[in-house]
A and B are shown apart, each in its own frame.
Chain A
Amino acid sequence: GAVVSQHPSWVICKSGTSVKIECRSLDFQATTMFWYRQFPKQSLMLMATSNEGSKATYEQGVEKDKFLINHASLTLSTLTVTSAHPEDSSFYICSARDASTYEQYFGPGTRLTVT
């Protein structure tokens, strides 16, 4: 089946630094990728939708200058958390939509801890 990878799987960073999370579709092309955020014992909250070669569409309340999304190729999207603060600590999950089938596949997630 289709595989989506995320890197890193977990990261600890200091407050004020930036962290980049990569999401890759390994065996299919993804014109659209989604970034979710999940707090402990809560549901997935859609942060933004990224389309290859164009600007991401952010959900209401998500700071686009803080959460930079780049979808430069059909297999890679990145989420950069800029000037991270402890409240940005969360589980970030990406999913990629297969361009040919429209099926959506999830990455394994990245656990971010900001100290």
Chain B
Amino acid sequence: AQKITQTQPGMFVQEKEAVTLDCTYDTSDPSYGLFWYKQPSSGEMIFLIYQGSYDQQNATEGRYSLNFQKARKSANLVISASQLGDSAMYFCAMREGRGGSNYQLTFGKGTLLTVNP
């Protein structure tokens, strides 16, 4: 079974509007972390936001917020007031456990976001 599922291959949003990118995850480990990365056409992976499994509140970073619904195993990214520069590929990722050699990121397939002027 896929550990990270992003069901939206592509999304379109109008400039200045908000958009939600979906992410569901699958793990039996009670300790895990969820990440969102942005990858523009240049290829670099830009870290956006992080949510720990024990965090009580949803993470927020500027225009980015993570809608964490633990019981539903979802970690959707909300981008408010979209800008043209937000057009990029967005990846959801998960890291399981608290450490050790298996402390690696598993990525979803990504969502290509296009912001229209």
Contacts and interface: CB of A to CB of B under 8 A. Distances in A.
What does DSSP make chain B's interface, helix, strand, loop or mixed?
Answer: loop
A106 B99 contact: no
Contact of A109 (B44, B99, B105): B44
B44 A42 contact: no
A95 B37 CA distance: 13
Given A49-B104, A102-B99, A44 B91 contact: yes
B43 interface: yes
A36 B9 CA distance: 21
Interface in B61-117: 89, 91, 95, 99, 101, 103-110, 112
Interface string B34-51: 000100001111010000
A97 interface: yes
A27 to B, nearest CB: 16
Contact of B43 (A91, A95, A104): A91
* Interface bin, chain A: 20 to 34
A108 interface: yes
Interface residues of B, number: 20
A44 B101 contact: no
A93 B45 contact: yes
A7 interface: no
Given A42-B109, A44-B91, A102-B99, A34 B43 contact: no
Contacts of B105: 34, 46, 95, 104
Interface of B: 37, 42-45, 47, 89, 91, 95, 99, 101, 103-110, 112
Nearest to A110: B43
Contacts of B99: 102
Given A43-B107, A108-B44, A109-B44, 10 more contacts: A32-B103, A34-B105, A41-B89, A43-B108, A43-B110, A44-B45, A51-B101, A102-B103, A104-B105, A106-B37
Top-8 shortest CB links A-B: A106-B45, A109-B43, A108-B44, A43-B107, A43-B109, A44-B107, A43-B110, A91-B43
Interface of A: 32, 34, 38, 41-44, 46, 49, 51, 57, 91, 93, 95, 97, 102, 104, 106, 108-109, 111
